[in-house]
Structure 1
Amino acid sequence: MSTARKLAPAGIAAVLALTIAPAAQAQTTATPIPAGSASSVAAAGRHASAQDKWFLRQAHQGNLAEIAAGKAALRESRDKGVRAIAWRLVQDHGKLDARLREVARRLHVSLPDRPSAAQRADLWHVQKRDGRRFDRAWLRLQEDAHVQTLQLIRRELRDGHSRWVKDLADDAAPVVRHHLRAIRAER
């Protein structure tokens, strides 16, 4: 048997190993790859479009705002239902944000370090209230925030490019819907 025939299976195995390597081991550079190539599917996860970057930043700020709002409700509210929702928001948005930060790191997307000025101002206005007025204002704020988050998710799923970012959005949607149902039930 010729040397070329002996080496051919090893060469094919090497090419297959390179083209079907797991995304976690793949290089995270955002170099464009022709659509017809074998690596185009893997590259779709590694390239962040402007929409993907916008989503990551907005969703991160939303998570930070939800965590801050949850902690505020845990400090201020005496209502068991509000406190249960607040605890769930802190837990769930913390987990969602940890995964989001990892994807942003892989895609080299810088993230803001706090909620937006509008989000901070909205929470500040809620925190000026006390008792049942606080609870009602807090629940209204959470309902609005979760409706906006679902709109953000739908936009990413429709217009996003990166598979990693779209997977984040897809996985976050049922969590956000669950929160919204709980908030509306408590109102």
Structure 2
Amino acid sequence: MRTARKLAPAGLAAVLALTMTPTAAQAQAQAAPQGVSQTTGRTVAGTGAWSAALHAAPQDVAYLRAAHRGHLAEIEAGKAALRKSRDRDVRGIAWRLIRDHRRLDARLRGVADRLDVRIPSSPTAEQRRDLRAVLSRSGHRFDRAWLRLQEDAHERALWLGQRELRRGHSNWVKDLARDSAPVIRHHLRMVRAEM
């Protein structure tokens, strides 16, 4: 008798599943919650609307890649300033850039993983070339060129974020752009105050 009581709910669920209309089955699949796979640790979603939420639109992919490269360039520029500059304030800004951009990039990499977006492993050729040009200077000239490079990079980062907020589709990526803007604006204020 106990076995029959235990099997009854399972049997009822099977009968309901077989008698469900296609529209009802589709609605149930679209409402399936997303979770985290116990084996891979990656986000898993049901079918329908949930899997569409995990798809990154071209604008979102472009933002993730450009922002990641920007973070990498800022980290490298910060390290270069720590090696080459003797100005205490420039070195302080460099430490701050390294710390903040590592933190922002760690969050970005998490979102890129969730959306299965491959991100580049280095700054762009242009970013590397610009840093090499700054490194060719020394003393006060290095500091001034480095600060100008940071001003340009942070203005571009703000522009990229604003573009993502206007044109992006993924809420995760738009949240990255929105949350990084105050940090980037703060960096820009520090750089301009030192110029």
Q: CA deviation at 1:47?
A: 2.2
Q: CA deviation at 1:22?
A: 6.2
Describe how 1:130-149 pairs up with structure 2 within 5 A. 130-149=138-157
Deviates more, 1:101-110 or 1:113-122: 101-110
Q: Does the CA-based 8 Å contact 1:56-1:100 persist in structure 2? A: yes
Tell me how far apart the structure 2 counterparts of residues 53 and 90 of structure 1 sit (CA, whole Å): 24
Task: Give the greater-gyration-radius structure (CA).
Answer: 2
Tell me how far apart the structure 1 counterparts of residues 155 and 85 of structure 2 sit (CA, whole Å): 22
Alignment of 1:114 with 2:122, yes or no, is: yes
Alignment of 1:123 with 2:131, yes or no, is: yes
Runs (5+) with no aligned partner, structure 2: 1-7, 14-27
Q: CA deviation at 1:130?
A: 0.3
Letter in 1 for 2:122: R
Tell me how far apart the structure 2 counterparts of residues 140 and 80 of structure 1 sit (CA, whole Å): 17
What RMSD in Å do the two structures reach over aligned CA positions? 2.4
Tell me how far apart the structure 2 counterparts of residues 124 and 85 of structure 1 sit (CA, whole Å): 19
Change (3 A) 1:50 1:63: same
Letter in 2 for 1:86: A
Runs (5+) with no aligned partner, structure 1: 9-14, 34-38
Describe how 1:8-157 pairs up with structure 2 within 5 A. 19=32, 26-27=43-44, 33=49, 39=50, 43-44=52-53, 46-157=54-165
TM-score, normalisation: structure 1: 0.81
Percent of residue pairs identical: 60
Give the number of the structure with larger relative contact order, counting CA–CA contacts within 8 Å between residues 6 or more apart: 1
Q: Does the CA-based 8 Å contact 1:28-1:106 persist in structure 2? A: no
Q: Does the CA-based 8 Å contact 2:93-2:190 persist in structure 1? A: yes
Please name the residue that 1:11 is paired with. Answer: none
Q: CA deviation at 1:27?
A: 1.6
Aligned residues between the structures: 167
Please name the residue that 2:18 is paired with. Answer: none
1:172 counterpart SS class: helix
Runs (4 or more) in structure 1 with deviation over 4 Å come to 18-26
TM-score, normalisation: structure 2: 0.78
Tell me how far apart the structure 2 counterparts of residues 103 and 28 of structure 1 sit (CA, whole Å): 15
